[in-house]
Amino acid sequence: MNPFELPASIIDRTVRDRAVTRLRASGVRLPTFKELAAPVASSIVVEQTVDPDFPDAANLRRVHWYNAADRRHVTEVPGYLELPSALTGVPARILVALGERFPMIGAHKVLPAYACLAVRLVTGLFDPTRHRAVWPSTGNYCRGGVAISRILGCRGIAVLPEGMSAERFEWLSRWVADPSDVIRTPGSESNVKEIYDTCAELARQPDNDIINQFSEFPNYIVHRIVTGPALAAVYEHAARSSSHARLAAFVSSTGSAGTLAAGDHLKATYGTRIVAVEPVECPTMLYNGYGAHNIQGIGDKHIPLIQNVMNSDLVVGVSDLSTDTLNVLFNTPEGRAFLAERKGIPDDTIRALGSIGISGIGNILAAIKTAKRLDLTHEDVIVTVATDGAAMYGSERDKSLRRDFDGRFDQIAAAEVFGRALAGVGEDHVLELGHHDRRRIFNLGYFTWVEQQGIPLADFDRRLDQRFWDELCALVPVWDELIEGVNRDAGTGDSGR
């Protein structure tokens, strides 16, 4: 399917009705986009006894940013961590929204996975009795896809690089229907093309539906209309303590570029700058570069189709040496003791650092660089996200301990990491984008999407116009109406599980 051919009605009613039958049998109620954007107002509460890590249909109603720390209750404000200047070294306030509070996978990538499959189901594009949902990813999105597939009664196939963290594969082994449903592609985080090549082979089988996060516009849409307002709520909550606060920047690693869509909402609302983050070991946007890196969750060596390049303001590069070693500093007794005793970081902040995974650390470093480049003050606020938590990277922490510290991490090593990776952060590998910089980055996508993936050039170029991106959101009320219709026909409605 051409990703630009977004359905605005039921395409195949027979297939749609099969989905209704499957949802009725499973007692599944599909939440609407509107409900996920405002779960408190929508009252889509879930019984506290439902385990947030269990494939229970009720957990679909937890696929939002408003879960409490226990992941069972709903909060008035999305969970976030404000980093003290003693840690960041800059006066600007850096707020980190915590994706680990999402259900089942402990990462916010379950949100776009739900959006992409739900749209297919309610429009009759995906037959749960026949189709297999193929989820290409570097880790979290495919986990989210497998979880959503299982709940919705269809088969999910994860496609991800073999070099990703062991925790990802351990989780998948517990959730897939068959071990063969986990397909390991060559390489690691930066080997996205190898994922595409594998998906091209799988697509030759008509029962396989490739749900590619890098080209699925529902991924963009759900982050713009769900994640964007959630981050606005985080900012508004933090800004209550300062009458002169302003949301100066939104910082996010590129990844599939879905999360970056939240920046479009924030820019339209507050005039916020949008900062895209990538590894300096593979500086695609910065230098048309290439290479391998270990900031898992970023992806690179191509520009996603759903990346609104022409609305970005800065590109910031961070090093995987910094993210790997800070993962050690933040999550070992020696590192935490150093932060408490030598830097005076509050205990609750230190404990909360465990809620930030490797890509989240990268986002924090990019936020610090942004604050320095733009000379931000204590009245300026930067919002960023931690896609997942440190629990997904224990194996990567062990690798870094062996490789970078000879297996020994003490107070001296902690001081060296803090000095190099935090106190020593400068303004290197930061590019403020002008029109021609944006157009250069936009043009890089041609080689992936037009030459390799066969996207029509006219469609590819449509994305130069901001009206294209703004008009995508007009589909949300249409899709919500279709979701509500499926719920009514399935008999799940408001009384569903």
Question: What percentage of the chain exceeds 90 in pLDDT?
Answer: 89
| Under 8 Å between Cβ of 28 and 497 | yes
What does the pLDDT read at residue 496?
Answer: 40
* Predicted TM-score (pTM) of this structure: 0.96
Task: Tell me if 465 is assigned to some domain.
Answer: no
CA torsion through residues 274, 280, 285, 287, sign: positive
Task: Tell me if 28 is assigned to some domain.
Answer: yes
pLDDT in tens, 414-462: 999 999 999 999 999 999 999 999 999 999 999 999 999 999 999 999 9
- Same domain as 198, residue 142: yes
* Residue 165 φ/ψ, nearest 5 degrees: -60, 145
User: How far is 222 from 227, CA to CA, in rounded Å?
Assistant: 7
- Same domain as 145, residue 85: no
User: How far is 83 from 95, CA to CA, in rounded Å?
Assistant: 6
Nearest to 69 by CA among 60, 61, 78: 78
Task: Tell me if 254 is assigned to some domain.
Answer: yes
The whole-chain average pLDDT of the chain stands at 94
- Same domain as 40, residue 148: yes
- Same domain as 113, residue 233: no
User: How far is 201 from 194, CA to CA, in rounded Å?
Assistant: 11
What does the pLDDT read at residue 494?
Answer: 67
Mean pLDDT, residues 350-374: 97
pLDDT in tens, 104-123: 999 999 999 999 999 999 99
Among 188, 217, 246, identify where a domain stops: 217
- Same domain as 249, residue 199: no
Task: Tell me if 452 is assigned to some domain.
Answer: no
Half-sphere exposure of 219 (CA within 13 A, CB side): 29
pLDDT at 78 over 50: yes
CATH number at 209 reads 3.40.50.1100
Domains: count for the chain: 2
Task: Tell me if 470 is assigned to some domain.
Answer: no
User: How far is 343 from 358, CA to CA, in rounded Å?
Assistant: 22
pLDDT in tens, 296-331: 766 678 899 999 999 999 999 999 999 999 999 999
- Same domain as 260, residue 316: yes
| Under 8 Å between Cβ of 365 and 393 | no
- Same domain as 197, residue 161: yes
Task: Tell me if 18 is assigned to some domain.
Answer: yes
Q: How far is CA 407 from the centre of its chain?
A: 32
What does the pLDDT read at residue 299?
Answer: 63
Q: 417 lies in which domain range? A: 80-103+223-432
- Same domain as 241, residue 155: no
What does the pLDDT read at residue 493?
Answer: 81
What does the pLDDT read at residue 149?
Answer: 96
What does the pLDDT read at residue 497?
Answer: 40
- Same domain as 293, residue 407: yes
pLDDT in tens, 4-26: 999 999 999 999 999 999 999 99
Among 413, 432, 451, identify where a domain stops: 432
pLDDT band for position 495 (cuts 50, 70, 90): very low
DSSP string, 259-327: TTHHHHHHHHHH--EEEEEEETTS-HHHHS-------TT---SS--TT--GGG--EEEEE-HHHHHHHH
Would you state the torsion angle of the CA atoms of residues 59, 65, 66, 70, taken in this order, to the nearest 10 degrees?
60
Task: Tell me if 58 is assigned to some domain.
Answer: yes
- Same domain as 227, residue 182: no
pLDDT band for position 469 (cuts 50, 70, 90): very high
Pairing of strands 93-98, 80-83: antiparallel
User: How far is 497 from 216, CA to CA, in rounded Å?
Assistant: 28
- Same domain as 233, residue 181: no
Nearest to 285 by CA among 425, 427, 426, 431: 431
- Same domain as 192, residue 330: no
User: How far is 491 from 284, CA to CA, in rounded Å?
Assistant: 49
Which 3 state secondary structure label does DSSP give 139? coil
What does the pLDDT read at residue 189?
Answer: 65
Task: Tell me if 450 is assigned to some domain.
Answer: no
What does the pLDDT read at residue 52?
Answer: 97
Give start and end residues of each alpha helix (H) in 58-137: 85-88, 110-122
